[in-house]
Amino acid sequence: MEKGLLSSVVENLASEQQVICEVAHGSPEYWATVGLRNLILRQPLGLEFTEEEREADKKFHHFASYLGGRLAGCLVLCPREGGDVQMRQVAVVAELQGQGVGTALVEYSEAWARQAGYRRMILHARDTAVAFYEKLGYSKVGEQFVEISIPHWEMEKRLIYIFFCPTSRAKCSKERS
Ligand SMILES: CC(C)(COP(=O)(O)OP(=O)(O)OC[C@H]1O[C@@H](n2cnc3c(N)ncnc32)[C@H](O)[C@@H]1OP(=O)(O)O)[C@@H](O)C(=O)NCCC(=O)NCCS
């Protein structure tokens, strides 16, 4: 294969690759996620982030997904008490929705949360996004409620750990205590 053709194939593969990482609060990458959250989650409702919300962001973990080096989606993880962590503001660029970006982001953040020792992921799902979370193993908890003017459901997912028992060589599934 010609060298030029090979390098363009490699470049194309790299541009298709989804890269997900944590971004530091206050970094340019963080501000890009704030822009996306505003565009996808707030502006359609005629809302903007409050000063209180921006201040709270400092304490949270921010994750971003890139496709071909461009921001494709983002979410926020907020540590809560009792081994819980709350997933918030999951947003995918409108033209990229329905292509697996949200799924990959959620799965990455679950892996991150397990690694950090959290036992349960909780979230407030918009009524329109409940089916998306159900496909990822989340269940509704309690009754519907209104948040930022639209119907929401609290949802949860236990973060299960898989262990291999060396004695029986049996595969054991156990919630980390
Ligand atoms: C909801 C959202 C985060 C999902 O991300 P995504 O990248 O579009 O979702 P994926 O492509 O990973 O979809 C995974 C599956 O969920 C389904 N799905 C995605 N969004 C859905 C929705 N709003 N309602 C029902 N099903 C949905 C997909 O069809 C797909 O199903 P399949 O596996 O059978 O094909 C994204 O569509 C989005 O940003 N929506 C607007 C903002 C929003 O509602 N955020 C959630 C706030 S709680």
- What is the predicted pLDDT for the residue at 100? 97
What is the amino acid identity at position 108?
Y
Range(s) of the domain holding residue 106: 3-174
Contact between 153 and 125 (Cβ < 8 Å): yes
- Structural domain count of the chain: 1
pLDDT per position as a tens digit, 96-136: 999 999 999 999 999 999 999 999 999 999 999 999 999 99
**CB–CB of 61/105 below 8 Å?**
no
* pLDDT of 166: 73
The DSSP-derived string for 70-128 is: EEEEEEEEEE-STTEEEEEEEEE-GGGTTSSHHHHHHHHHHHHHHHTT--EEEEEEEGG
Atom of ligand 1 nearest to the CA of 124: 48
Largest CA distance in the chain: 62
| Ligand 1 mutation pick, 132, 133, 136, max ligand atoms within 8 A of CB | 132
CATH number at 137 reads 3.40.630.30
Report CA(102)–ligand 1 centroid distance (Å). 6
Q: 155: Cβ below 6 Å to ligand 1?
A: no
CA 101 to ligand 1 center in whole angstroms: 9
pLDDT of 9 strictly over 60: no
Stronger pLDDT, 167 or 42, i.e. the higher one: 42
